[in-house]
Amino acid sequence: MSELNAIPTPSYETAVSSGAADYPGLDDWRSLPIKQQPAWQDHPDYDSSIKELSEYPPLVFAGEVDVLRKRLGQAVRGEAFVLQGGDCAETFSGVTANKISSRIKTILQMAVVLTYGASMPVVKMGRMAGQFAKPRSSDMETRDGVTLPSFRGEIINGFDFTEEARIPDPKRMVQAYHSSAATLNLIRAFTQGGFADLRSVHAWNRGFMANPAHARYDRLAKEIDRAIRFMEAAGADFEALKRTEFYSAHEALLLDYERPLTRIDSRTGLPYATSAHFLWIGERTREIDGAHVDYLSRLQNPIGVKVGPNASPDDLKALIEKLNPEGEEGRLTFISRMGAEKIRENLPALVKSVQDLGAPVLWVCDPMHGNTVTSQNGYKTRRFDDVLAELRGFFDVHHELGSYPGGLHMEMTGDDVAECLGGSDPIDESAFADRYETLCDPRLNHRQSLELAFLVSEALSQI
Ligand SMILES: O=C[C@H](O)[C@H](O)COP(=O)(O)O
Ligand SMILES: C=C(OP(=O)(O)O)C(=O)O
Ligand SMILES: [Mn+2]
């Protein structure tokens, strides 16, 4: 059984920890500048909601978080590749068996293709079971002359364009917790219960290959087929490959949610976020002296930081010093999201500066957030070709500098939505009216996601 498929055993004490952590520095963020938070402290349900969260069991165990940090350490060393994927904004109504399992299946399908291309383990993470809070460019939204507060994710307010829906409601945090628990339960059942058998995942990919639009991936699909048949013939232990590690991740934006779910690990006496295994800081909240960087610097979880086109080498140096002062491999991931037009120009100086520091950073590419455009018919969208162009830029820049391009961060779904343009079986604007479902950013649909995995797999096999 490969190390990556070993299931971590949480300690009993960690498993039962409850009650918000009391630990020096965990409340320092409260006196620091903070962005993108709802003003709901005077809401009658604010205190009780936070208390409720602080009493619920942790969603993830500290022991699992430690295993993920180790996996990401392998990726820093170029021994594993990371795949993070899921909704831009999860929804409460999206907590259904069909929707969750098709997203997990799609991520597993992508991972098989990437594993083959990279000839390496793929560390799988869902933007799932907690990806509910959204930073917005504007505090207000105007439609047909009516202006209301922006939608900030269902953990804060409602999507409906009414005054009432847009009022922040702290009880939503409790609903987000329960939704995350239900999602994580299905993730665990699906990935630990034998349904993720490598052979089944590969069989699902045959459905994708049956579409004549994907004929150009035939050769790669056949190679994977042969590799699996070879493994079978050689007596590989497929029982062990029936289970796979799968981690949860979200943007740690809403600190009123993260704080009560931070717990002290009884083994080490150190604070862990137990809302997810991996947390990241968004592009809009990564100020070095801000609340988010301070709060996450105090947790043991592996941390990501989104890095956009305005980031400077000095910004990255300060983030490294604050978030990974010990230089631990796997602790810090930079998720670059430059946009296809800027990546080749902006990324090299950043990668070089990290190399000069000798800092162990994992570089992951988010080819989504720098490529958002508005379609002619008024939808927020992204072009498949731009997503691919950014990814190619990411691989080329790292290749030229001798740095390791360690992973992929996608907004995607397992459903047949129409939100991003293009792909071999192309989506065009006319499909948006019927199949545009996202409440925030446009996601690649099932087919587009798999196609991207085939294309990245080809690029990885050349590294
Ligand atoms: O998911 C990312 C951000 O929340 C999103 O891109 C912001 O979108 P907006 O510019 O529509 O506010
Ligand atoms: C808000 C997001 O991204 P960014 O912070 O990179 O804009 C996101 O990942 O949904
Ligand atoms: Mn997004």
pLDDT in tens, 184-240: 999 999 999 988 888 889 889 988 999 999 999 999 999 999 999 999 999 998 888
pLDDT digits over 360-395, tens only? 999 999 999 999 999 999 999 999 999 999 999 999
Q: What is the mean pLDDT of residues 27-49?
A: 97
Mutate to test the pocket of ligand 1, among 286, 371, 372, 374 (most ligand atoms within 8 A of CB): 372
| pLDDT at residue 173 in the model | 98
Distance 151 CA to ligand 3 centre (A): 13
How many angstroms separate the alpha carbon of residue 211 from the centre of ligand 3?
A: 29
Among residues 332, 317, 407, the alpha carbon closest in space to that of 73 is found at 332
137 Cβ partners below 8 Å, 6+ apart?
A: none
Tokens describing residue 381: 């969208």
Report residue 322: phi and psi, to 5°. Answer: -85, -40
pLDDT for the residue numbered 74 = 98
**Residue among 88, 125, 287, 369 whose CB has most ligand 2 atoms within 8 A, to mutate:** 369
Report the alpha-carbon distance of residue 265 to residue 17 in Å, rounded. 7
- pLDDT > 90 in the chain, percent: 90
pTM: 0.96
Residue 444: strand, helix, or coil: strand
Ligand 1, atom nearest to 135 Cα: 4
Check if 127 has its Cβ closer than 6 Å to any atom of ligand 2.
Answer: no
C-alpha to C-alpha distance for 124 and 336, rounded to whole angstroms: 18
From 91, 285, 440, the mutation candidate for ligand 1 (largest count of ligand atoms within 8 A of CB) is: 440
Q: For 64-85, how does the pLDDT look when each residue is reduced to its tens digit (9 = 90+)? A: 999 999 999 999 999 999 999 9
